[in-house]
Chains A and B, each alone.
Chain A
């Protein structure tokens, strides 16, 4: 260990460290500013990631699921005759694909309760299968998700769940009677009597205002539709493997169509993933990454201005000292290096402190979230997705590391400004 350069580097580091603490208050303030900026960036990233994940969760878990399968005529016109046969459902369940599936049926109808009538949108589900694919049936404000028919006065009453806004408009609550009238599949007037057993929390604006949820059995007694179903909701085990799964399903569809050909009028079978089903959510997710970078640059950039100020003052105060060092033969680049090392130490301390504090608070956000329940009891609607009123964060260690790295880089870049001043010193003038 006789390397003079190495010895000098060690000496410079030691001197730089001591130089930072010549003015502890000023350095402390600088570290606070940088750490504060980093903390804010970490929290912003965590909240943004949390919001994104909540968005995906609500978009997929409560209603749409990860993938959906339809006939093209159904997608184009809500053609209630464009169905997939029940044998396809059986085939998918018997296959080895790692998915959960649930069939659905839809229709428009006229709903009457006492003296009020309004148009509604019927959604029919298989309660047992739906339970494995979405959390739709537990998304209740009042009542319960019960689907067993009841006999009253020699009439069959089928249970339904209704959207919250629809419940208000027709003055419905659990126990209310609801009459639905529609045109059945065979052209006849479909009609049946229903009992409201639960009111759903908001899940999407249209359904909230017009939605009536019933079992497929109830739907069939109203619509005389036995041939098949309109929609297959598919939940993947791993949401990150949707593309592969989509191809596998398409292959299986092609195979099934050879066995059981479908009618021409319904069009071909189309499988769409949740991003295709809900473009606003997908667009938001793409945008959030860019937003995070831009906000990061702004926040850390502003904090770095404080760094520039600190280093400029520090260098200015030591002009005489630098002059003396230059006079006795020390090269300017060594002095420059010393100043840069000082900046690095400030940045490093800030990064460590900021990361720790930011991560701790972000973890709190992840566990408890920010609760807006008293302001928005039913959550809020954004881009067609209804959010719960508790905003949750989600901490990703990689993001913490990247934010810290970004801060250090910007800080070192900022340090070049005062460092440049040193290179231009002339010993005779400053000694």
Chain B
């Protein structure tokens, strides 16, 4: 909204080009850039806060199988997270621990912890359309991408910002471009579009069921759909989420990974 005020100010200046107009134009650029960065950080922190504790349901639908899981998840900042499967019974206790760039899985059936090697990062996480890479890369989005606001205004009867992120030259990422659409009124995301390096749209991530949790306005459901298989999808539904609960790094340890199930 601050951005709109600046625009209004510019419009009210008299038509002859003046020093004050130039100054406004110069200052508006860094403000816009800051706005984009702020949006990125805002989206990053939407479901996390300093710490978070959530119960969620993940429904995976593919051509070959359909699968529903109930999970409990904790997170600390962007670098630490722990996800434990509660249902189905067969998978109960299977856990995924993320510490910075590493992922481990605890497998209660064989009472073993296995580390996911870098060669398996593109593999599916828990049989869903999300990949291990998605878990790892989400924490470095701001460092991996240069983001700009490429559209601002009305679309589908909604005032939105469109945020376009291009990978930085040395970033080790799989996407060629990520486009995020965010509502202006609540700064809640509504859609993410993921393109490959050739510019083809590969998958879409849709956010809905907006709820207010404390001071945050959060989509409680996200749906990931591959473009080449329209009938397939992975839906994550947050049943409950709490923020800013007491958690320390010790909680996110291999020892705790084994014990908590």
Per the CB 8 Å criterion, the residue count for chain B at the interface is 27
Per the CB 8 Å criterion, the residue count for chain A at the interface is 20
Q: From A117, A179, A186, give the contact of B67 (CB < 8 A).
A: A186
Q: From B63, B111, B114, give the contact of A265 (CB < 8 A).
A: B63
Q: Is the interface of B mostly helix, strand, loop or mixed?
A: loop
Q: Verify A189–B110 contact, CB threshold 8 A.
A: no
- Kindly list chain B residues whose C-beta atoms are within 8 Å of the C-beta of A193: 110, 112
Q: Verify A181–B114 contact, CB threshold 8 A.
A: yes
A residues 75-122 near B (Cβ < 8 Å) are: 81, 110, 112, 117-119
Q: Verify A155–B111 contact, CB threshold 8 A.
A: yes
Q: Which of B121-129, B192-200, B246-254 contacts A (4 or more CB under 8 A)?
A: B121-129
Q: Verify B63–A188 contact, CB threshold 8 A.
A: no
Q: Verify B127–A117 contact, CB threshold 8 A.
A: no
Does any Cβ of A come within 8 Å of B255's Cβ?
no
- Shortest Cβ distance from B112 into chain A, in angstroms? 5
- Shortest Cβ distance from A77 into chain B, in angstroms? 12
- Kindly list chain A residues whose C-beta atoms are within 8 Å of the C-beta of B112: 112, 179, 191, 193
- Kindly list chain A residues whose C-beta atoms are within 8 Å of the C-beta of B105: 181, 189
Given contacts A110-B117, A110-B120, contact A189 B126 (CB under 8 A): yes
Bound together, the chains give a CA A185 to CA B128 distance in angstroms of: 13
Bound together, the chains give a CA A155 to CA B109 distance in angstroms of: 8
- Kindly list chain B residues whose C-beta atoms are within 8 Å of the C-beta of A117: 114-117, 120
Q: Considering residues B62, B88, B109, which has the most beta carbons from chain A within 10 angstroms of its beta carbon? A: B109
Does any Cβ of B come within 8 Å of A315's Cβ?
no
- Kindly list chain B residues whose C-beta atoms are within 8 Å of the C-beta of A118: 117, 119
- Shortest Cβ distance from A121 into chain B, in angstroms? 13
Does any Cβ of B come within 8 Å of A261's Cβ?
no
Q: Verify A183–B114 contact, CB threshold 8 A.
A: no
8 tightest CB-CB pairs across the interface, nearest first?
Answer: A187-B127, A187-B67, A193-B110, A191-B107, A117-B117, A112-B114, A187-B65, A81-B64
Apart from A155-B110, A179-B110, what 14 extra A-B contacts exist at CB < 8 Å? A110-B117, A117-B116, A117-B117, A181-B107, A181-B114, A183-B123, A185-B64, A187-B60, A187-B65, A188-B88, A189-B105, A189-B126, A192-B109, A193-B110
Residues of B in contact with A (beta carbons under 8 Å apart): 60, 62-65, 67, 88, 90-91, 94, 105, 107, 109-112, 114-117, 119-120, 123-124, 126-128
Give 23 CB contacts A-B under 8 Å: A81-B64, A110-B114, A110-B120, A112-B112, A117-B114, A117-B115, A117-B120, A118-B117, A119-B119, A119-B120, A179-B107, A179-B110, A181-B107, A183-B127, A186-B65, A186-B67, A187-B62, A187-B67, A189-B94, A189-B127, A191-B110, A191-B114, A193-B110
